[in-house]
Amino acid sequence: MRNYLPACKIVSTHGVRGEMKALPLCDGAAFLTKFKRLFSTAEGAGETRVLGVRAQGNVILLRLDGITDMDAARAQVGRVYYLAKADARLPKGRYFIDDLLDCEVADADTGRVYGRLTNVEHPAAQDIYTVTDAAGEEHMLPAVPEFVKTIDMENRRILITPIEGMFTDAVNGDEG
């Protein structure tokens, strides 16, 4: 688990006063407005004060301390800025994807281990978890309360109640 996560990537300048267009690499402008600082490295070096964040279509407009003109903003193009997870306040029951990855996924009733969480996608209304079993096969699991019963971050374990076919071959019942 990392302490700093990608927040945004600078893609161009905006105006002449140092504002920059950035591609959000997190939950977007609304999420980023809660941060008072960003970092220029994934290790937390280069702390910079955030002066402003606002949405503009699918990008954000970002103003950072010390970047006051177009030339300074242009020098930032291509740079990724990071947020400190410690600065984030997630609602109860919400987790950083980075923290969920590599958690053990097990049956809430039997304790059977199905594998490890290897990917989280958000194609529609809910996330889809990819669980990779010991044989390297991938299984998709909708991240909804009907299937995901408990997320235990302290023990890095996700307890689920799958339906038939989710982790077995539904046609002949063979485990897959």
Residue-by-residue DSSP string for 51-92 = EEEEEETTEEEEEETT--SHHHHHTTTT-EEEEEGGG--PPT
For the domain 4-86, what is the CATH code?
2.40.30.60
70: left (phi over 0), alpha (psi -120 to 50) or beta: alpha
Which residues, listed in sequence order, are joined to residue 105 by a DSSP beta bridge?
115, 158
Question: Using an 8 Å Cβ cutoff, are 24 and 5 in contact?
Answer: no
Domain with CATH 2.30.30.240 in the chain: 97-160
Cα separation, 129 vs 140, in Å, equals 6
Q: What is the pLDDT of residue 171?
A: 45
Fold designation for 97-160: SH3 type barrels. (2.30.30)
CATH 2.40.30.60-classified regions of the chain: 4-86
What is the pLDDT, as a whole number, of residue 169?
58
The whole-number pLDDT of residue 149 equals 95
Per-residue pLDDT tens digits for 55-105: 998 899 999 999 999 999 999 999 999 999 999 888 887 888 888 999 999
Residue 146's Cβ-side half-sphere holds a number of Cα atoms within 13 Å equal to 4
Question: In this structure, are residues 92 and 150 in contact, taking their beta carbons and an 8 Å threshold?
Answer: no
SS3 149: strand
> What is the pTM (predicted TM-score) of this model?
0.72
